[in-house]
């Protein structure tokens, strides 16, 4: 619900500390990730709303703000990026019985441009053959997690390096610079390390 793993960990640790002080001293079990039941439910909801998708294998899931301000679930699979309604609001609060709404289905091989921003380290813009989608995650770490999973799926699908379509938007500039060119020219910007960005968004 917080949309950020670091903030969630902090809340969990503080809550567990208080519960152990006031309720019981025994260790309190904590489940931090989507459990199998919830992941299966999310996958089934996507498949029911997107019947053309034969199989769903979720690589990553987190929340992000769309350009409209709406909080959306961003789900990366082997072949797609799905933008859906807030999964947690739906599972906890929806009383209508309606399914999880799928806002957009992006085929990985249609993603032809990706822009990151020096002044907005938690934001990214995805461009496809027919549309542009601006996503703002709750933290830079959230963006890095998204790019890491996107990189794996996109590079497997296209047999190309993600940097080939990645642009970097420096503070104060109206245009994005191609990351491949910046890497080749060894251009650096204050407070932004290209080699570090590539490392943290690559496979471990």
Q: Whole-angstrom Cα distance, residue 90 to residue 159?
A: 36
Between 19 and 125, the higher pLDDT residue = 125
Q: Is the pLDDT of residue 191 over 70?
A: no
- In tens, the pLDDT along 162-185 reads 988 998 888 877 777 777 655 554
User: What are 180's two structure tokens?
Assistant: 């491949």
Q: Work out the mean pLDDT of the chain and round it to a whole number.
A: 82
Task: Catalogue the E-assigned strands of the chain.
Answer: 58-65, 71-77, 80-85, 102-107, 113-117, 123-127, 132-137, 166-169, 177-178
What torsion do the CA atoms of 142, 148, 150, 155 make, to the nearest 10 degrees? 170
CA angle, residues 69, 44, 78, in degrees to nearest 5: 75
Encoded tokens for 183? 């890497």
- CA 71 and chain centroid, separation: 12
Question: What strands lie across the sheet with 80-85, from one edge to the other?
Answer: 102-107, 80-85, 71-77, 58-65, 132-137, 123-127, 113-117, 166-169, 177-178
Name the residue with higher pLDDT: 121 or 189. Answer: 121
Query: Tokens at residue 93, please?
Result: 């609060």
pLDDT of residue 15: 85
Q: What domains can be seen in the chain, in order of their start residue?
A: 33-200 (2.30.29.30)
């Amino acid at each position: 619900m917080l949309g950020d793993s670091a903030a969630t960990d902090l809340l969990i640790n503080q809550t567990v500390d208080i519960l152990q002080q006031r309720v019981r001293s025994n260790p309190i079990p904590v489940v931090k990730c989507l459990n199998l039941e919830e992941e299966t439910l999310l996958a089934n909801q996507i498949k029911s709303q997107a019947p053309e998708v034969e199989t769903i294998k979720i690589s990553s899931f987190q929340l992000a703000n769309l350009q409209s301000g709406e909080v959306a679930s961003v789900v990366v699979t082997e072949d797609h990026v799905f933008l859906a309604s807030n999964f947690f609001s739906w599972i906890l609060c929806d009383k209508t019985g309606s399914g999880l709404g799928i806002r957009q289905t992006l085929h990985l091989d249609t993603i032809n441009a990706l822009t990151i921003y020096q002044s907005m380290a938690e934001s990214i813009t995805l461009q496809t053959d027919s549309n542009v989608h601006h996503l703002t995650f709750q933290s830079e770490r959230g963006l890095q997690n998204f790019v890491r999973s996107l990189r794996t799926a996109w590079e497997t699908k296209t047999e190309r390096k993600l940097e080939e379509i990645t642009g970097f938007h420096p503070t104060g500039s109206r245009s994005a610079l191609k990351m491949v060119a910046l890497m080749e020219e060894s251009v650096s910007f204050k407070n932004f390390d290209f080699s570090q960005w590539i490392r943290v968004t690559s496979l471990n």
